[in-house]
Amino acid sequence: MSAPGRLLRRVDRAVDGLVGDLILYAVSAAFALATALTSTLLPHRGWGAIAVWAYLIAAVVVTGQLLARRFNGHPLGTAPGVEQPSSAAARLLPGNRPSKPPSRWGSPSNPAWSGRAPLAWLVWAGVALLPLIVEAVQRAGGRTDRAQEEVLVVEQMGRRLLESGTPYLGRDAIAALPESERLLGYAPYQPGMAVFGLPRAAMGGAWWTDARVWFAVVTAAALIAAVVLLRLADPAARVRATQFATVLPICALTLATGGDDLPVLALCLLALACCATGRFAAAGVAVGVAAAAKLFALPVAAVLVVFALTARRGRRLLPGAIGLPLLALLPALLVDADALTENVLRFPLGHGLVHSPAQSPFPGQLIASALPGGRYVAAALLGAAGLTIAMLLLRRPPRTAATAALFCGYGLLAAILLMPTTRFGYLLYPLALLAWTPALRKYSATTAPRDDAALYRV
């Protein structure tokens, strides 16, 4: 491991992970404050004004945990012993609860007993769910600056699906729109994404029909299920994995203001957790639903297919992983195949009537905009990276869910950096996938933890 990697690992593990928590919450508070004061996107500013307080409270709580350990005679960096905290106030802090006998969850000093996981979920409620509900309520009350454009696009997909049987407009229909509205006429998602727009299309403009509310419901359900499945994993790794899918600002901000990437990510993480615990049929359903909603899940599905075939579980995973995305495409293909192609392929590749606003300054975008023929150069680099990863995947297929997560994380990172059209927010995919790798390492593809009697249920 490199020197920076060793340093990061030491910081991450210092004082049972509390030092890493303090850094995460403090830096996130600074990011939220900067967003509230400087962002040019009004939904983002609304998020920052609420999230900064939740991050600050979390940082204060973790600081209290660290100080309590110090004042109770436990030097920072060492685990508490069996003695009780010296004061009632200190005993109330999650990191200093009374000693309990060892169990399968670990010793009293184990992070499972420290309150880190409950705090992470509470912080997520404060930095993602609360801002989301506030903005949804304000939007239902008439404010037009409380949702990003992707929310409107998804809700329009639901309305079109009800009215015409396809969530897409054809090229001619988009061309007939006023020029200022053509961008919102495109829906660069898989047909399954339209499901999140159905509540508003069917029930009207209440706050609870906002597409973000349903993004959050699916995200929470998938993440909770994944964490429960990995209950035998290292608790510290599981807490950090949860944080990188929930309270990390790039995830919390995205869910509160736009949200469409979070259910896709959560379903992919759930699929990995299902594979790790031998539930390949459930994994196929999870990643298949994700791929039916957004193309970003397709590389994850491809890696899991190779993993399942290597583990001789392909018959369980393949029907869901491949069948569900194809099933979602079928109605759109039958109703208007050209409209599907225009939205899902031509527009993301830069051949639509308008250009995508996703222009974050990553290498692929810089090459595409700065060099003669740069778009073709960037496409060639992206293709070369994809071919390299595919060759590695076939020559050294993943034999554990952790290795599969590494393939998914690094593969998506390469794709995001090299795509001519990309967003900074897409980094939430590789960051979360890589952060989940340590929590998956306990499990193998073909063997079960002996204390999980229900492992092979599907």
Q: For 181-218, what is each residue's pLDDT tens digit? A: 999 999 999 999 999 999 999 999 999 999 999 999 99
pLDDT of residue 378: 84
Give the amino acid at 185.
G
pLDDT of residue 73: 56
Copy the structure tokens of residue 78.
């060492």
pLDDT of residue 75: 52
Q: How many CB atoms lie within 10 A of CB 260?
A: 21
The answer on pLDDT for 223 being more than 90 is: yes
How sure is the predictor about 458, in pLDDT bands with cuts at 50, 70 and 90? Answer: very low
Eight-class DSSP state of 359: B
Map out the domains of the chain as residue ranges. 1-103+110-117
Over residues 34-43, mean pLDDT: 96
Q: Lowest-confidence range among 8-17, 192-201, 344-353, 425-434?
A: 8-17
How sure is the predictor about 107, in pLDDT bands with cuts at 50, 70 and 90? Answer: very low
pLDDT of residue 453: 40
For the chain, the average pLDDT equals 87
Q: Lowest-confidence range among 3-17, 67-81, 128-142, 206-220?
A: 67-81
Select from 240, 242, 201, 208 the least CA-distant residue to 225.
Answer: 242
Task: Using alpha carbons, list the distances in angstroms from residue 41 to 44, 48, 182, 360, 392.
Answer: 5, 11, 20, 15, 41
E strand or H helix at 82, and its extent?
Answer: none
Task: Using alpha carbons, list the distances in angstroms from residue 57 to 49, 129, 251.
Answer: 14, 16, 19
The answer on pLDDT for 95 being more than 70 is: no
Put residue 267 in one of left, alpha, beta given phi > 0 → left and psi -120 to 50 → alpha: alpha
Select from 313, 305, 321 the least CA-distant residue to 447.
Answer: 313
Copy the structure tokens of residue 101.
């006998």
Q: How far apart are CA 253 and CA 286, in angstroms?
A: 24
Over residues 282-303, mean pLDDT: 97
Q: How far apart are CA 318 and CA 314, in angstroms?
A: 6
Helix (H, G, I), strand (E, B) or coil at 106: strand
Over residues 392-417, mean pLDDT: 95
- Decide if 338 contacts 402 (C-beta within 8 A): no
Q: How far apart are CA 48 and CA 156, in angstroms?
A: 27
The answer on pLDDT for 253 being more than 90 is: yes
Over residues 38-67, mean pLDDT: 96
Q: How many CB atoms lie within 10 A of CB 427?
A: 18
Task: Using alpha carbons, list the distances in angstroms from residue 319 to 177, 189, 261, 294, 402.
Answer: 40, 22, 24, 18, 23
